[in-house]
Structure 1
Amino acid sequence: MIKQVEIDVLNIGIKQNTADAVCMKIPDGSTLAMVTTKNKFAAAPVVISKDNLQNNIIKYIFVNSGNANACTGIIGHNNAQQYARKLAAKLSCKSEEILIFSTGIIGKQLPMNNILSSLHNCNLVFKSTWEEASQAIMTTDKYNKYIHKKMTIQGQQITVNAICKGAGMIEPNMATMLAYLEINIKLSKSAINKLIKHVVDNSFNRISVDGDMSTNDSFVIIATADTETIDYDVDLTSFALLKKNITKICQDLSKMIIADGEGATKIIEIDVNNAQSENQAKKIAFAIANSNLVKTAMFGCDPNWGRILAKMGSVNVDLDITKITLLINNHMIFSRGEIDRRCNHDVLEQSMQNKEIFLNINLNSGRSRFKALCSDLSHEYVDTNSKYTT
């Protein structure tokens, strides 16, 4: 029998006439790892799920969209526990054996009458697909985000299913999003925890739409132990290859989030290299990524190198402007402390019409590097978020 996550998509009365919840059945013998928001005001489901994962064997995951159940006080916390108990009774398990997640509007109580009635009446048959699940967890997303991939490591065929949602309130840690990834191999608790840390540090923690950290961010990896031929604790070469492949999948999901950023018209890659340390490069990259002046310039197709340099100069790190070079879309625009006179501005300005913009910043002061992705800032972003209320 194939050991894989089974899925049921349903409506629990938060949204009208569309799926707003996902229930995942976890195969026996699976290992799970989870990373959640670092926001000090984490939502009730995040708090409950962290405790459940630490102290129990998880049998189910349940996700609702349309209501974040965040900043809802003791009532919100009790509501989350109440519907978890209702779901547990339906599934013949303990409520502590369920991870629960919510996404949507902050500050509103869950419509408990609708939810409890829907859970009581629903018939969970677990015949839905990962793609249907990716649609059910959407909020302001314009499109669903789903990746199915097969790979081979040491002759072992590995299958990955991964979904995520996110479009606004995107910035580490972790970037506002929910993400779930199933992989059909056996991983020890130690190995899966190492894997999720590496993956998150090199994907979801390197993106920004608006510099705001969500209360509900969560990413879960589920290793179903369907195939057990490789011991990833011992075979470090295979583990390194596994990390590389799973990281690439999550980088692709991250790029989908940026492309779907609220009002986004461009994806901007910021590559800070030859820095004194990765931390120095990271500070500079995210300072630029979260600069409204830089982002609006990108939206206007303006290669405004002055805004980029000004933002860099505001970061509390040691920099020598005479060593810095800046390339925009591979065109050298700044070097030796001033504008580079060799730059063909007509060609550069034409390249700003591209959907993807590349900023390459060489500090020429070390050997460290950090890349970040962000979106531009458009009229539509302002319009969307001026209407999206708590």
Structure 2
Amino acid sequence: MIKKVELEVLNIGIKQNLSDAVCMKIPNDSALAMVCTKNKFAAAPVVISKTNIQNNRIKYLFVNSGNANACTGIVGYNNAQQYSRKLSAKLNCKSEELLIFSTGVIGKQLPMNKILSSIHNSNFSFKSTWEQASKSIMTTDKYNKFINKTFTIQGQQIRMNAICKGAGMIEPNMATMLAFMELNIKLSKSAISKLIKHVVDNSFNRISVDGDMSTNDSFVIIATGETETIDYDVDVTSFALLKKNITKICQDLCKMIVSDGEGSTKIIEIDVNNAQSESQAKKIAFAIANSNLVKTAMFGCDPNWGRVMAKIGSTNIDVDINKITLLINDHMIFCRGEIDRRCNIEVLEQSMKNREIFLNINLNSGRSRYKVMCSDLSHEYVDTNSLYTT
């Protein structure tokens, strides 16, 4: 028996003549796991969904774009509750059996008359595609982001569909985005919780566009239970392979987000290795990723290693500058406390014109490692965000 998430894309009046919402119908007996923003001013939909997922069997997900319904006070919270009740009546379920998500401009109230009318008039035939759904959740994204893929574990064919959105306000935890994934396998509550934590820690929590944490970030994994061949609670090897495959898919989604970062012209991978601890490597990696001076240098195709070293020093982490080596695009530019005179600067500068830039920082003080992906900082980013609400 085929058990899959069914989709209905619609326009609820937030955007003009564009799809701006998607409803997802969840198969019976599916397992769900969700992680959300840690922003203390989380949007009303996040607050409601975190409550609903605790003690209810979730039957539907509803996502709107163009309006974040964040920092909208009690009116915004009541609005979210109101359209949840309208949806539940239309879909013949309880409002507590819905998870709701919003993304877009912060601080504006939802156009409730349009939303309620659209829900009332929609037939919810659930015949939309994942690609259509990916377009309906876009905000400042230049292109829609979706992946459908099949892979095999122990002879079992696993089908995966995933969509996400995100281009600005990208920083853990999580990276500004909404993401939804369907797997056709059976997972226990324990297994899917372990899976989503591992995946997020190694993908969405390792990217940055601008260092700002959103009020609405959410990621949901849905395991429909269509195939039950493998018990992932018992088969440790298979579960490890599952984590590896899903993490890689989410890392590919992350790369799409960074590539589509507002005004992005570069994808920058920062690899801090041989640190005393992972937390030390992580702190240095994100310090570099969120440095405006480093990011603007990358935009200008300038291998300004001095900005990288200065940012490492500003973290106040106890590292020996004489042990650090810095490679940019595999060219050794810094070692033994100074510029490496053997570096061919002309070749290095030419490599800076590449779309992807690689910074490798070897601290030579331990065995821990942390990687982060980020974008550069361009004129277009400033233009986009200086005019966003208008």
Give me the TM-score of the superposition, normalised by structure 1: 1.00
| Corresponding residue for residue 334 of structure 1 | 334
The reply to whether residue 259 of structure 1 matches residue 259 of structure 2 is yes
| Corresponding residue for residue 202 of structure 1 | 202
- Displacement of 1:246: 0.1
| Corresponding residue for residue 5 of structure 2 | 5
Name the CA distance, whole Å, in 1 between partners of 2:117 and 2:316: 54
| Corresponding residue for residue 160 of structure 2 | 160
Secondary structure of 2:159's counterpart equals strand
CA displacement 1:320-369 (0-9 Å, x = unmatched) = 00000000000000000000000000000000000000000000000000
Query: Which letter does structure 2 place at the counterpart of 1:4?
Result: K
Secondary structure of 1:248's counterpart equals helix
- Displacement of 1:389: 2.2
- Displacement of 1:55: 1.4
Name the CA distance, whole Å, in 1 between partners of 2:389 and 2:129: 31
Matches within 5 A, 1:83-102: 83-102=83-102
Matches within 5 A, 1:177-192: 177-192=177-192
Query: Which letter does structure 2 place at the counterpart of 1:171?
Result: E
| Corresponding residue for residue 241 of structure 1 | 241
| Corresponding residue for residue 149 of structure 2 | 149
- Displacement of 1:92: 0.3
| Corresponding residue for residue 80 of structure 1 | 80
> How many corresponding residue pairs?
390
Secondary structure of 1:183's counterpart equals strand
Query: Which letter does structure 2 place at the counterpart of 1:286?
Result: F
| Corresponding residue for residue 55 of structure 1 | 55
Secondary structure of 2:221's counterpart equals strand
Query: Which letter does structure 2 place at the counterpart of 1:118?
Result: S
Name the CA distance, whole Å, in 2 between partners of 1:186 and 1:321: 50
- Displacement of 1:172: 0.4
| Corresponding residue for residue 316 of structure 1 | 316
Query: Which letter does structure 1 place at the counterpart of 2:298?
Result: M
CA displacement 1:119-146 (0-9 Å, x = unmatched) = 1111100000001000000000000000
CA displacement 1:185-238 (0-9 Å, x = unmatched) = 000000000000000000000000000000000000000000001000000000
Name the CA distance, whole Å, in 2 between partners of 1:220 and 1:177: 11
Matches within 5 A, 1:15-54: 15-54=15-54
The reply to whether residue 124 of structure 1 matches residue 156 of structure 2 is no
CA displacement 1:54-102 (0-9 Å, x = unmatched) = 0100000000000000000000000000000000000000000000000
Name the CA distance, whole Å, in 2 between partners of 1:317 and 1:382: 31
Name the CA distance, whole Å, in 2 between partners of 1:183 and 1:316: 43
Query: Which letter does structure 2 place at the counterpart of 1:355?
Result: R
CA displacement 1:147-194 (0-9 Å, x = unmatched) = 001000000000000000000000000010000000000000000000
Secondary structure of 1:64's counterpart equals strand
Query: Which letter does structure 2 place at the counterpart of 1:319?
Result: V
Secondary structure of 1:225's counterpart equals strand
CA displacement 1:282-308 (0-9 Å, x = unmatched) = 000000000000000000000000000
Name the CA distance, whole Å, in 2 between partners of 1:61 and 1:324: 48
Give ranges in structure 2 of 5+ residues lacking alignment: none
Secondary structure of 1:271's counterpart equals strand
Matches within 5 A, 1:106-117: 106-117=106-117
Query: Which letter does structure 2 place at the counterpart of 1:291?
Result: S
Give me the TM-score of the superposition, normalised by structure 2: 1.00
- Displacement of 1:316: 2.7
Secondary structure of 2:8's counterpart equals strand
Secondary structure of 1:232's counterpart equals coil
Secondary structure of 1:159's counterpart equals strand
Secondary structure of 2:161's counterpart equals strand
- Displacement of 1:258: 0.1
- Displacement of 1:29: 0.6
Matches within 5 A, 1:280-319: 280-319=280-319
- Displacement of 1:377: 0.2
| Corresponding residue for residue 348 of structure 2 | 348
Name the CA distance, whole Å, in 2 between partners of 1:385 and 1:17: 24
Name the CA distance, whole Å, in 1 between partners of 2:257 and 2:289: 15
- Displacement of 1:265: 0.1
The reply to whether residue 279 of structure 1 matches residue 279 of structure 2 is yes
